[in-house]
A and B are shown apart, each in its own frame.
Chain A
Amino acid sequence: MLTDNNKLFHRKKILTAFLLCTGILVLLFGRLVYLSVWEAEHYSQMATSLHERERSIKAARGRILDRNGVVLADNKTVCTVSVIHNQIEDPERVTEVLCQELGLSEEYVKNRVEKYSSMERIKSNVDKETGDRIREYDLAGVKVDEDYKRYYPYDQLASKVLGFTGGDNQGIIGLEVKYEEYLQGEPGYILTVTDAKGIEVEAAGERRVEPVPGSDLCISLDMNIQSYATQLAAQAMATKEADSVSILVMDPRNGEILAMVNVPEFDLNNPYELPEGTPENISSEEKQNLLNGIWRNGCINDTYEPGSTFKIITAAAGLEAGAVTPESTFSCPGFIVVDDRKIRCHKIAGHGSQDFVHATMNSCNPVFITVGLRLGVEQYYKYFEEFGLKTKTGIDLPGEAGTIMHKMEDMGNVELATVSFGQSFQITPIQLLTTAASIINGGVRVTPHFGVKTVDAEGNVLEVMEYPAVEGIVSQETSATMRQILEMVVSEGSGKNGKVEGFQIGGKTATSQTLPRGSGRYIASFVGFAPADDPQVIALAIVNNPQGVYYGGQVAAPIVRQLFENILPYLGIMRYNQ
């Protein structure tokens, strides 16, 4: 038994111990309140991010529309079929159905069905109808996910302009790359709650952050003009057995490109397909080079010697500087001697006495050499730069090639003479067309372009693209004179194959020999515009290495003529006699 005295101090001690323990428990409770009230947000956010698994939802890529709203690049819903090993109940039935519906070999499907993995992809880019059918079987462990795939309704149309997209829906070439930031949109997410092993907790449901679709891009291209131009180019390529044919159609007033054709085009829905007859065992590097060649847009990625079409520039520079007037008379003996070099005219007998207008109509080399020499290297070079020929046009397509030109210090009279009629330097077709357009449109250097505006799914305009324009590169008078002279070229001169009944057409032909000289390879080209007194459309046709007759006036001019015969009424350009 405890004595009273003992009991007293024991009781006090026991009470002390109890109070001490209680005190500590109360302190711990305080700590708990701190954690679950003050720190709650911090920890619960961290916990939520731990519990949720993110699956991204692709955003629908913006479409590409032509100037009339025709859809050139669209999205198609496709399905990806996968199997989840753990959830499969009847592997034989699954294998059978998938083989049958997807047209795959039994061995291939069986391997994947039996493979122990969290999720095995059987086939992607499956048609929506097939995907829906598979879904209707309601097989445990088979998952059909919907996805977007880029789809080009017109297959080959403007393939090198539009470009295509890769596996993640990102642009690879063409406008698809250039306008990536507008087209791509923002991906959304499905946040699923999972346990620590990654198994979804069904009761917890899911949280969705909806994707933001990309903006639609409206471009200046006209589907009808583009497809007609493509037909013409393909026809010309076939009949002339040419390597390639390019056709450019532009509005010279603002630089909007209506058509850009480079045949052979390729199938945008199948861009990695190699041409028939390609050996199968080529290395991946060779394959890539081959594909890059197929995807190449000759109008902007390649340069060529423009030849006689460049006389437009020499003429404009000469007129602008006062070195020549339309009435200036020249005499062509069939050749001209520059320094120690004798340069022939294409007409060996010579054009005899002629004024500048007729010299242009005849495309007489000695006359243009004379004009170039009258200007002199420095002045000629100054105009070359002022016309914007040294800088890129700034077209909204990737990979524009620059001009290959002599340095001014290295230019002698011989070089100047050759440049004057379009040889010994190289520019891109788009550069030639843009410069010609700028000379005949009243002297405004325009920026060639496709992109006009972006719109949202409801058609509301989001952004209107603006492009620089430099005014006064030639005077209005020079521009008007050039239009008259070039109209004469078509109506009565070397470009008469470009004539269109009922329309005033201006233009210039060219036949340039490709390097090395004497290879027998030529480039026939023709640049034409209409109406000649108020140009609303300018076109350039380039036939690369035509067989047989290779003169621009006979090969390229008829292409532009046929084009104009069809598109001028379509564009609402009136015949002069109406």
Chain B
Amino acid sequence: MAAQRTSRKRRKKEQTEYFFDYSMLFIVLFLLGFGLVMIYSASSYEAFQEYKDAAYYLKKQLTAIVIGLVMMIVTANIPYHFWERFALLGYIVSALLIPVVLTPLGVESHGARRWIRIPGIGLNVQPAEVAKLCMILFLATLVCKMGKSVRTMKGFILMVIIPFPIAGEIYLITQNLSSAIIILGIAVLMVFVASPDYKKFVIMGVGVLALAALAVFLVVSGDGEGGFRSGRILAWLNPESDPQNKGFQTLQALYAIGSGGIWGKGLGQSMQKLSFLPESQNDMIFSIICEELGIFGAIAVILMFIMLLWRMMVIANNAGDLFGAMLVVGVMGHIAIQAILNIAVVTNTIPNTGISLPFISYGGSSVMFLLIEIGLVLSVARRIQLKELA
């Protein structure tokens, strides 16, 4: 009896020696599943009008998710240190990949040239997504390489400067301000974690806010001259002033949120998805969630994101080494920034810019890269020895 008991204890210890974060996997799967339901709800009407197939977007998204899940499992099973050697290569590749959108390989959609068609598979990939992943990898590697010199001013400046070329490329070549902001945001967050200082970051935050306020002030006092971006700022301040053009999408999103109210209209009952709200299955899917499921649907989604971030924080805090921790922090930053910006845009808290809601919005390449990142995080989690779990 006693021998049996000890052997059972031993087996148990062996089994649980390494950690697999099922909670996080569940959250991700939940978000993906919920996203599929909402994509079908938001897109079926238009998909049927356009392609005579109500499930057109659903099928494409499902394919991308299946491919992404396979890639996630593969990544989760590869020790994450394997990727360390590709850090510099990744940085260079992403820098080279962005200008490719200008070549015949580039694909134009919604008036912007941001995609590359991978020959043979017929899959479109956004170089910006590649760049986000590579940036996380590169900075994590760099933080480890630099060791204590991260804490010096020189190290800090180097870390802050590194994402700029890529972000600049994305902004200038693909006209994609939001991805550029996300890359800078990821970098700042990673540097923030790597460096023990607070003061610099507070100053930086205040500086960014002051610049933003100055920009808004200049636009408002400048009678709206200055084109595309300044028009967006004016439309942000008062979307009802230009309901047909600049303020259109924002206003339609607000209509959706307003008509959803507390309880929502019920799943599938959205009116705004009937071609009123552009990109309803994509960047604006959150407003359809609000319209159909009300505040309760919205809080479920927000809570899921908070829980996901919390799981990542736990993994980062318990990562086997600094490299793993930094990788997780990068992914966490990526998802957090994108979710925050998306919800902020939909609720007209910030000026309109195209950002998708992680895991939920329609977009094959986005969800695939996000799943690869989740795979990385799971890989880091697997290296956590349970005795170290605090």
A-side interface residues toward B, CB under 8 Å? 1-2, 6, 9-11, 13-18, 21-22, 24-25, 28-29, 31-33, 35-37, 39-44, 46-48, 50-51, 193-197, 201, 204
Contact = CB atoms under 8 A, between A and B. Distances in A.
B258 A28 contact: no
A1 B81 CA distance: 13
A2 B384 CA distance: 12
B193 A14 contact: yes
A48 to B, nearest CB: 7
Contact of A47 (B259, B298, B317, B344): B259
Nearest to B336: A21
Interface in B303-358: 305-306, 309-310, 313, 316-317, 319-322, 325, 329, 332-333, 336, 339-340, 343-344, 347, 349
Contacts, number: 133
21 contacts: A1-B321, A10-B194, A13-B193, A16-B192, A17-B193, A18-B309, A18-B313, A21-B336, A25-B302, A25-B343, A28-B302, A32-B295, A32-B347, A36-B257, A37-B295, A41-B258, A43-B255, A43-B258, A51-B271, A194-B274, A197-B275
A31 B349 contact: yes
A29 B45 CA distance: 28
B59 to A, nearest CB: 22
B299 interface: yes
B306 A37 contact: no
Contacts of B339: 25
Residue from the set A9, A11, A13, A36 with the largest chain B CB neighbour count within 10 Å: A36
A10 B329 CA distance: 10
A47 B255 contact: yes
B361 to A, nearest CB: 16
Given A17-B333, A32-B298, A43-B259, A2 B321 contact: yes
B257 A10 contact: no
Given A36-B262, A39-B258, A31 B306 contact: no
Nearest to B265: A44
Contact of B257 (A6, A18, A32): A32
Contact of A195 (B189, B194, B274, B290): B274
B94 interface: no
A338 to B, nearest CB: 80
A33 B347 CA distance: 10
Residue from the set A6, A13, A41 with the largest chain B CB neighbour count within 10 Å: A13
B261 A195 contact: no
Contacts of B309: 18, 21-22
A51 B322 contact: no
B330 to A, nearest CB: 11
Given A21-B309, A21-B340, A195-B45, A35 B258 contact: yes
A509 B273 CA distance: 82
B198 to A, nearest CB: 8
Contacts of B272: 47
Nearest to A29: B302
A18 B322 CA distance: 17
B375 interface: no
Contacts of A51: 271, 274, 276
B35 interface: no
Contact of A17 (B257, B319, B329, B344): B329
A199 to B, nearest CB: 8
Q: How big is chain B's contact interface, by range? A: 35 or more
Contacts of B344: 28
Instruction: List the 9 closest pairs (A to B, CB-CB), nearest first.
Output: A43-B258, A195-B274, A196-B275, A47-B255, A44-B259, A21-B336, A18-B313, A13-B193, A40-B261
B260 interface: yes
Given A17-B332, A36-B295, A28 B343 contact: yes
Contacts of A2: 319, 321-322, 325
B256 interface: yes
B322 A10 contact: yes
A47 B258 CA distance: 8
B231 interface: no
Nearest to B346: A32
Given A32-B295, A32-B298, A17 B258 contact: no
B255 A44 contact: yes
B227 interface: no
Contacts of A16: 192
A28 B349 contact: yes
Nearest to A5: B196
A17 B336 CA distance: 10
B106 interface: no
Contact of B343 (A32, A36, A46): A32
A43 B256 CA distance: 8
Given A51-B271, A196-B276, A14 B302 contact: no
B128 interface: no
Given A6-B322, A36-B257, A44-B255, A31 B340 contact: no
A44 B261 CA distance: 8
Contacts of A1: 320-321
Contact of A201 (B262, B274, B340): B274
B259 A33 contact: no
B302 A17 contact: no
B125 interface: no
Contact of A11 (B254, B262, B295, B317): B317
A10 B325 contact: yes
B294 interface: yes
B268 to A, nearest CB: 10
A36 B290 contact: yes
Interface string B105-144: 0000000000000000000000000000000000000000
A48 B276 CA distance: 12
Contact of B259 (A29, A40, A194, A204): A40
A17 B189 contact: yes
A43 B257 contact: yes
Contact of A31 (B49, B299, B325, B347): B347
A40 B347 CA distance: 13
A443 to B, nearest CB: 68
Contact of A35 (B257, B319, B322, B336): B257
Nearest to A12: B196
Contacts of A25: 302, 305-306, 339-340, 343
A50 B240 CA distance: 14
Contacts of A24: 340
A197 B276 CA distance: 8
Contacts of B271: 47, 51, 193, 201, 204
B258 A195 contact: no
Contacts of A42: 258
Given A47-B258, A195-B45, A28 B347 contact: yes
Contacts of B325: 2, 10, 14
A41 to B, nearest CB: 8
Nearest to A18: B313
A42 B255 CA distance: 9
A37 B262 contact: yes
A14 B306 CA distance: 14
Contacts of A21: 309, 332, 336, 340
Contacts of B275: 195-197
